[in-house]
Structure 1
Amino acid sequence: MISKLLICAALIASSAAQAQIGTRFPSERKVVKDLVTGTMLTFLTSTPKGDSKIYPTHPQWTSDGKWLVFRSNRVKGEAMAVNEATGDLVQVTEGGYMGMLNLAQKSMKLYFMRATGDSKRVQIVEVDLARLFADSASGKLQKADAYQRICGTTDAQLEAGGDMALDADEEWAYFRTGPAWSAQHLPAGTKIEPAFGPRKMGAGPNGIARLNVRTGEVKHVVSVPFQIGHIQANLYNPGEIVFCWETGGKSPQRTWTVKADGTGLRPLYPEASYEWVTHEAVISKDEVAMAIMGHRPIPGAQGTSGVAAPATGVYGANPGQDDGWGATGTREKPTGLAIVNLRTREMAIAGQTPSGSGLWHVHGSSDGKWAVGDDFSRSVYLIDRKTREMIMLTTGHKTTAADHPHPTFNKEGTRIQIQSAMLSDDNRSMNIVVVPVPEAWLKR
């Protein structure tokens, strides 16, 4: 009997490892009450399968609002989708992917980068999700190329990689270019930035290029003398890009914006040397949310409310506690969840926790009503932008988790997706969770 069970388990594991695009997995959907806040949390996955959500710079839901796409180890190296209402799980890639998963918002399409045999060339791939979900539900799956289309392959000299972003027009995909190519497009005499901070990151140059997903045409956008981190497109305004100077912590100038034709390059929020700006996310046609961190103690002060939460021993759990960042990220100056207007360039602080690390990963609803952020304790806070009222939506998501909650609104501004280790026996493995905006708030 035991040997039969082992054989059965091995066959299931083998099947999962070789699963084709469209393969379905049993629902794991559970509704769990947060014992501290009372919020009803919908765990769309609830087993330790290495789940993680798409980064808050990109959409989480498909254009019809029914499915959430995420990374998972259910099938190693492949992406999954889960139906929010039913909990149905479907594999949505075959052949692997790299970097960011991009969900189109005008069509039921998924876009991503894929490595090729040449380490310096990448493909950009499109997945027809509508056809895939229909065939998966009917049990009439076809081969992968019935659903996946190669939009184009980058030239080796570009050294393409990094975060990919799909433009609002769903015609162009933006991606990072390597130092050699980027240097060729810098004005003569440009000073190349060296590494910055204790993590020895941030050195340039880097650039951004774009590939037309219909024709495969590639165009250079811009080069900069520093290392580029997150690249995101304004999904409400075609041809507008937001990106960052990545150092692994405090940057000399974190946030930047540029047009798709390479014009208009400028700092998004010109920051002071003492400000620790991070985790910018485009939230509407005209606005970008970002965190101005207040997570470090003020040198020489006593009883300060901004004393940082202690690190847990997990790498990256509570970053910025190491030396070498200078006198930055303290509450000696204004901090909190900041929202910058791309047109007027005005910035306003929507809110800040009264103590602890302060808000860290941030987002906002596209209608301008709500903002959301997590903190070092992995608690998630909702802010009414009109009244400045702030409430804790959920807590207890374990500081030992493999990653942070990364709260992100759906486009209607009614629900927030996070990732959580709340149910994990190992205190690390995360699941995909949907948190509702309270009904009383939605009626305001």
Structure 2
Amino acid sequence: MKNYQILNSITFLLILLLIPEMASAQIGTRFPSEKKTIKDPETGVDLIFLTSTPAGDSKIYPTHPQWTADGNWLVFRSNRVKGEALAVNENSGEIVQVTEGGYDGMLTLSHKEMRLFYMRKLEVGDMEVVSVDLGKLFADSESKKLKKKSTYETIHGRVPKSMGNGGDMALDADEKSVYFKINKEEASKHIDKSVAIEPSFGPRNMGAGPGGIASMDLKSGKISQVVAVPFQVGHVQTNPWVAGEIVFCWETGGKSPQRTWTVMRDGSGLRPLYSESEYEWVTHEAVISKDEVAMAIMGHRDIEFETKEEKETSAANPGQEASWGPSGTREKPTGLAIVNLRTREMRIEGQTPSGSGLWHVHGSPDGKWAVGDDFSRTLYLINRQTKEMKILSTGHKTTAADHPHPTFNPQGTKIQIQSAMLSEDNRSMNICIIPVPDNW
């Protein structure tokens, strides 16, 4: 009897220890606010850190929406609950878990309703397209009346393993369908046999084709082919203002022979978004308004790089290998470029006087502001009307796990970044908001 009682006591203790871990895996679990505001040590602007502990946070990529439809929450990735997505309320700072069972690839927020879309990998290797009713979830989480995840989730359909290529997914402006990458085997079924398939390009051995994009109808789950191309596809994104308009890239991990592309959902209109030369290193395109896409034309390499030995790359100075070709120097125009989807006109809005040049770029939908970071993790704000450029914030540490990836909110009044400024290990990042200063 005594042994039995001891065993029961041990079991009870183990259950008590496991309860927090089990609870934290449930959708809707809340975490206390970590919000704090500090002044940028160089510029004096407010840096509003919505998370401030070393939990491995990272924001959604600039190609996709960051804020929920009501403008109050930002969805992000974190190791607070490994493999799950979280949302932080910009006003209260409270954090809520918004997925359960994991997600794969891109987190995609609706512009029209409080809903999050993503892909989730199944045991058989298929991917299911899931959405979460964030409005209902946040309300139940606040009232402490959480229900099973099926109450909040909608399963829209399944992408077979035989055709899927990860969770690089984007939501159409009409929010009736999503677009996603397909693998080489599937793309080869749809590409014209007369088209020459591209080999790998650059030192990372990426970029080989074929690749392509498919769509899924969110109501029926029906999958349709959009386009097949002779190269590796990456960064699938949509125009949030124009239904059926897709922007994507030739992904090599660096310079591409032709980086930016656009196509309509029926496969028509396939063309380079910006036709580049071998001397231009184009990267990090992001749709910023109904008619415009921001992108970086890099100026990070020495003009005499071809006569020098191949340089060793690092997180602070990547992309220096000679095998990238004769691109990325300042012999040609470089900087934060914005191309018009309708007229195809391109304008360079600004460039840093030295260093790597602007790298990850974005802009406000009203056409007033552009923003970019550089290799030093410094952020620059550009007034597109006056062409004035100022340092917005710095000190985000070159040792950080990733780059700031600045992204405007839909109103053009604030910018979200990810930053290691507060991290003792100089790597772990937090979610940070920088309001555009009123006096700027």
> Between Structure 1 and Structure 2, how many residues are aligned?
424
* Separation in 1, partners of 2:357, 2:268: 35
Which of these residues, 210, 215, 225, is aligned with residue 230 of structure 2? 225
Is the aligned partner of 1:46 residue 2:52? yes
AA paired with 1:136? S
Aligned equivalents of 1:144, 1:162: Cα separation in 2? 21
CA contact (8 A) 1:162 1:229 kept: no
Q: Which runs of 5+ in 1 are unaligned?
A: 1-6, 303-308
Corresponding residue for residue 276 of structure 2: 271
Instruction: Compute the displacement of 1:243 (Å).
Output: 0.1
Matched residue, 2:357: 358
Q: 2: distance between equivalents of 1:386 and 1:301? A: 37
- 1:57 CA displacement: 0.1
Whole-Å separation in 1 of the counterparts to 2:305 and 2:270:
39
SS state at 1:99 partner:
strand
Deviation at 1:40? Answer: 0.9
Match of 2:253 in 1: 248
Deviation at 1:159, TM superposition (A): 2.5
Aligned to 2:178, the other structure's residue is in SS state strand
* Structure 1 residues 395 and 310: CA distance shift in structure 2, 3 A: farther
Are 1:101 and 2:107 counterparts? yes
Structure 1 Cα separation of the partners of residues 213 and 87 of structure 2: 29
Identify which of 151, 169, 172 aligns with 2:174.
169
Structure 2 unaligned regions, length at least 5:
1-12
Instruction: Give the one of 77, 83, 89 matched to 2:83.
Output: 77
Tell me, in whole angstroms, the C-alpha distance in 1 between the residues paired with 2:353 and 2:403.
20
The structural deviation recorded for 1:156 is 3.2
Report what 1:151 is aligned to.
Answer: 156
Q: Give deviations 1:49-102, integer Å, cap 9, x for gaps.
A: 010000000000000000000000100100000000100000000000000000
Structure 2 residue 409 is the aligned partner of structure 1 residue 410 = yes
Alignment deviations for residues 8-65 of structure 1 (CA, whole Å, 9 cap, x no partner): 9x94894267420000001000001111110110000000101000000000000000
| SS, match of residue 107 in structure 2 | strand
Q: Report the 3-state secondary structure (helix = DSSP H, G, I; strand = E; otherwise coil) of the residue aligned with 2:211.
A: strand
Within 5 Å, give how 1:45-444 maps onto structure 2.
45-119=51-125, 121-299=126-304, 313=314, 316-441=315-440
CA deviations 1:381-411 (Å, max 9, x no partner) are 1000010001111000000000000000000
Distance of 1:424 and 1:322 partners within structure 2: 31
Q: Note the C-alpha offset of 1:317.
A: 4.4
Counterpart CA distance in 2 for 1:140 and 1:403 is 37
| Contact 2:377–2:394, Cα closer than 8 Å, also in 1 | yes
Q: Which amino acid aligns with 2:79?
A: N
Partner Cα separation in structure 1 for residue 18 and residue 41 of structure 2: 36
SS at 1:156 equivalent: coil
Letter in 2 for 1:413: G
Contact kept in structure 2, 1:17 and 1:76, CA below 8 Å: no
Contact 1:282 1:288 in 2 (8 A): yes
| Matched letter for residue 323 of structure 1 | A
After superposition, the CA RMSD in angstroms is 1.8
More displaced stretch, 148-157 vs 327-336: 148-157
Paired position in structure 2 for 1:4: none
Contact kept, 8 Å, 1:152 with 1:215, in 2: the verdict is yes
Partner Cα distance (2:416, 2:40) in 1: 15
Distance in 2, Cα, partners of 1:158 & 1:213: 18
Distance in 2 (CA, whole Å) between partners of 1:261 and 1:115 is 27
Kindly indicate whether the alpha-carbon contact (under 8 Å) linking 1:162 and 1:230 is maintained by their aligned counterparts in 2: no
The structure with the largest alpha-carbon Rg is 2
Aligned-pair distance for 1:212? 1.1
CA contact (8 A) 2:312 2:321 kept: no
Distance 1:134-1:343 versus aligned 2 partners, 3 A rule:
same
Q: Distance in 2 between matches of 1:372 and 1:123?
A: 35
| Cα distance change of structure 1 residues 310 and 155 upon mapping to structure 2, 3 Å threshold | closer
The alpha carbon displacement at 1:162 in A equals 4.2
8 A Cα contact 1:109 1:130, kept in partner: yes
Deviation at 1:440, TM superposition (A): 1.8
Looking at structure 2, the residues matched to 290 and 274 of structure 1 have their Cα atoms a distance apart, in angstroms, of 16
Give me the whole-angstrom Cα distance separating, in 2, the residues matched to 1:66 and 1:240.
Answer: 27
Q: What SS does the aligned partner of 1:69 have?
A: strand
